[in-house]
Amino acid sequence: MSSTGVRGSAPCAPRPDDRWALFSGNPAGGRSALRGPIFAPPKGAGRAGGRAPCPDCGVQTPVRVCPDCHTDLPTDYCDQDSRIIALIGPKAAGKSTYVTVLAHELRHRVGQAIDASLSAMGTTTQNRYRQLEDSLYDRLLLPGPTQPAAMRFNDPLLFRLSLPRRGLAGMRGGSRHTALVFFDAAGEDLASAEAMDRFTAYLAAADGVIVLVDPLQLRPVRDRLTGSSASLPSIETAPEQIVADLAAQLRRHGRGQEKGKVTTPVAVALTKSDVLESMLDPSSPLLRSAPYPDGALDEADRTAVHQEVRALLEEWDGGLLHRRLERDFAHFSLFGLSALGAAPTADAPADAPKAGLQPRRVEDPLLWLLGLRGLIPVRSAKKAESGQRTQSARKGR
């Protein structure tokens, strides 16, 4: 916990916080790195009223901080289950846009489909998300690229996800609340030992990783789109290299291994799937939204998407990325999504489509990760096939 002295209202004077300075990118000797005393609350303290006394001056403080990086936490963060989701991809993959649209969809369309609600936790996330959402949805302006950690740390976004608690036979009773922590890193940061020092605690504790792959950085895709209206970004770190660096970092930080493979589940998603429409069969699952039978994930649908993306990658890179994932991770799945629904206009490439956003499948990677943890019900492929046969039999009567 952190003394309210950091707010200037207690006898304790601010003091240098080297751990916070390292994490946030603030100069160790600068004023922004000065904070109140950081201390572990006495046993049993910090619960009643959410306060604990400073051991130096005795002043009660409600400010809780992460024990690893010393970031301030919302007062109710420690009172519920939490899931840390790492978001990784090259600078042009659209990570900030993705998180903004994902949160918006979970608050609206997807939240309604799975009977969930999402809210930002703490003033930092509330203010930042409001700015991102207003800019994207009201002014149709895309966020700037994620800055490498050498420039500044990209503060994590914290949300509370509320879902119905399911009992026997799927009966609902009460609610369960989970804190979702999203932090994003530029793919090039994974190969930098200095930059990774800031992400160590998050990567080591991550319940899942979402790796965004920009298809416009793959040469076979770029070649097929040459001459089209698509705006091609500069080529950054190759996706298979990002995945290899990620596995190396997770092994280095002691994540469990299963037969030599990292057990942290990884969702790899092709972004900007709207620019691939000319390459897809009209029946492709990437061209439709995910179904949610009875508010559950449809495993048959996820498998169809996985196989479709695998086939595309096989065509583009000879299966290089898929083989890398198979060698390094015990649990992974492939996805395809579009945060915007259409490419930005050629005359204003920094803007979202003038018709507004029409995202597809942005929620798939996160909900799959939550399904692995039992937080979202999953409808197995066998049940889906049984339901289809029953429905066909009824139609035949």
> What's the rounded mean pLDDT across residues 367-375?
93
Bigger pLDDT: 362 vs 63: 362
pLDDT at position 4? 44
pLDDT at position 48? 44
Residue 289 in this model has a pLDDT that exceeds 90: yes
CA 281 to CA 298: how far, in whole Å?
21
Least reliable range by pLDDT among 109-118, 200-209, 243-252, 292-301? 200-209
Q: Indicate the Cα dihedral angle 198, 199, 204, 210, nearest 10°.
A: 180
pLDDT at position 11? 64
CB 368 within 8 A of CB 361: no
- Write out pLDDT tens, residues 150-186: 434 456 788 999 988 865 555 556 788 888 988 876 6
Mean pLDDT of the chain: 78
CB 42 within 8 A of CB 48: no
> What's the rounded mean pLDDT across residues 117-128?
88
pLDDT at position 246? 87
SS (H, E, C) 33-51: HEECCECCCCCCCCCHHHC
State both tokens at 35: 């904070």
pLDDT at position 189? 58
The region that residue 341 occupies, defined by phi over 0 for left and psi between -120 and 50 for alpha, beta otherwise, is left
- Write out pLDDT tens, residues 302-331: 999 999 999 999 999 999 999 999 999 999
Residue 44 in this model has a pLDDT that exceeds 80: no
- Write out pLDDT tens, residues 267-281: 999 999 998 998 999
CA 25 to CA 69: how far, in whole Å?
11
Residue 33 in this model has a pLDDT that exceeds 70: no
Angle between helices 299-317 and 381-395 (to 10 degrees): 110
pLDDT at position 268? 97
Cα dihedral across residues 212, 218, 221, 225: positive or negative: positive
Among 46-50, 155-159, 169-173, 364-368, the range with the most confident prediction by mean pLDDT is: 364-368
Residue 284 in this model has a pLDDT that exceeds 70: yes
pLDDT at position 171? 54
Cα dihedral across residues 40, 42, 44, 46: positive or negative: negative
pLDDT at position 379? 92
- Domains, the chain, in order of start with CATH, read 4-73 (no CATH), 80-382 (3.40.50.300)
pLDDT at position 56? 74
Least reliable range by pLDDT among 53-67, 95-109, 301-315? 53-67
Bigger pLDDT: 31 vs 392: 31
Instruction: Dump the DSSP string for 135-171.
Output: IIIIS-BPPPPPPPTTT-----EEEEEEEEEE-GGG-
pTM greater than 0.95: no
